[in-house]
Amino acid sequence: MNVSPVSDSTAVVCGIGSCLPPRSLTNEEIVARGELATTDAWIRSRTGIARRRHAASDVSTGDLALAAGEAAMRSAPGIRPDLVLIATTTPDRPCPATAPDVAHRLGLGPVPAFDLAAVCSGFLYALTTANALIAHGTCRYPLVIGAEKYSAIVDPQDRDTAPIFGDGAGAFLLRAGERDEPGALVAADLGADGAGSDLIAVAGGGSRLPDTAQLDRAERYFRMRGRQVYAQAVTHMTRSAQTALDRAGWPAPSVEAFIGHQANQRILDSVAERLDVPAHHRFGNIADVGNTAAASIPLALADTAARRLVRPGARALLTTFGGGLTWGAIALTWPAVLPFSADPTPHSPSRPHPHSPPPTDRSHPSWKLSASTS
């Protein structure tokens, strides 16, 4: 899909927020449960993951998204979102979308709000969508959130998925700007191939197989055919990244920050090597948070930005691959803003929603300008 820019105007990242559940589950804890025939060494060598975050049972994807969205607003004081877009595979309910509820809880009033489903590619799909909505005048300050509670859909007895996936949310607040300023989305590429739709899937719960009580275990939970996915991910992430670079007019050696979807460290290394990105320009947090699907890229970028490891304005490359099959890449200049992070707060739909936006002072005790999101 050709989504290269038609003018110097584009979306610019002006706020960054993140939310990771406090509970960190180590490989040793997963092995100790006795449900998987695996070891810490096997998990680390195959995936690069040492631990992942799991949300409490009373915390939903919407709660994670809310905290990340509020944190992004704190990162951009004085800017009020006028659209909320949530990329997720794990919405609070099949219907309605999670985004309108989150927008309401943010105190934003009757702004447009909707969910986008492209599995692990969802956040880059959502950023590209928000960029187009800015260009068409639909909104001025879209809030784009990637939020997932994969612990709710992963089978704890499945060795192919249980050690890999975690929970969390990351958010970008956008504004219109110029392509040569820090935080600018310069070029993008998106793609999909439905012929591989069964490689990454939750079979039950939709209109095709709605009665999950009658389904077997394999159809109720998230499943992934890891070996087939590996080759597809490396191929499509590499091609999409190169396409985005070509549209931006950036030679690959000029990239100073590479962040791939945090799916598997071996996939990330393979893609970076094919693009000739040196090791000191590769960033991520997969070892500490695992694969958080649509939340993966914003969480990794927030972590890197919090550590101040990349200079503002540096050329950066994001690339991803997910179920659908879907993939994408974005070339952007590194944002000049620092991220905020927050812990999730459980919310019961039976309780009244707050009717005012969160306070704007940065001294609120539940907020922190983090040195690291992991």
For 64, the token pair is 């994670």
Q: Is 231 helix (H, G, I), strand (E, B) or coil?
A: helix
355 labelled catalytic: no
Outline where 7-57 has alpha helix (H).
Answer: 27-32, 40-47
Spatial contact of 358 and 107, defined as CB atoms under 8 Å apart: yes
CA dist 83 and 70 (Å) reads 14
Q: Would you state the torsion angle of the CA atoms of residues 3, 121, 255, 242, taken in this order, to the nearest 10 degrees?
A: -60
User: What's the gap between Cα 255 and its chain centre?
Assistant: 21
Out of 236, 261, 281, 347, pick the active-site residue: 261
Q: Is 49 helix (H, G, I), strand (E, B) or coil?
A: coil
Which residue in this structure is represented by tokens 């249980």?
162
353 labelled catalytic: no
Pairing label, strands 326-333, 185-192: antiparallel
Out of 54, 120, 236, 264, pick the active-site residue: 120
Distances (CA, A) of 178 to 135, 300, 373: 12, 24, 28
CA dist 249 and 300 (Å) reads 25
DSSP 262-278: TT-HHHHHHHHHHTT--
Helix or strand (DSSP H, E) at 144: strand 142-149
Out of 14, 264, 291, 347, pick the active-site residue: 291
Outline where 16-76 has alpha helix (H).
Answer: 27-32, 40-47, 61-75
- Residues 52-82 as b/e (b if ≥16 CB within 10 A, e otherwise) read bbbbeeebbbbbbbbbbbbbbbbbbeebbbb
- In DSSP terms, 167 is beta-bridged to 149
261 labelled catalytic: yes
Strand ranges across the sheet with 167-178: 113-116, 83-87, 142-149, 167-178, 9-19, 340-342, 367-368
- Residues 217-256 as b/e (b if ≥16 CB within 10 A, e otherwise) read eeebbbbbebeebbebbbebbbbbbbbbbebbebebeebb
Residues designated as active site: 120, 261, 291
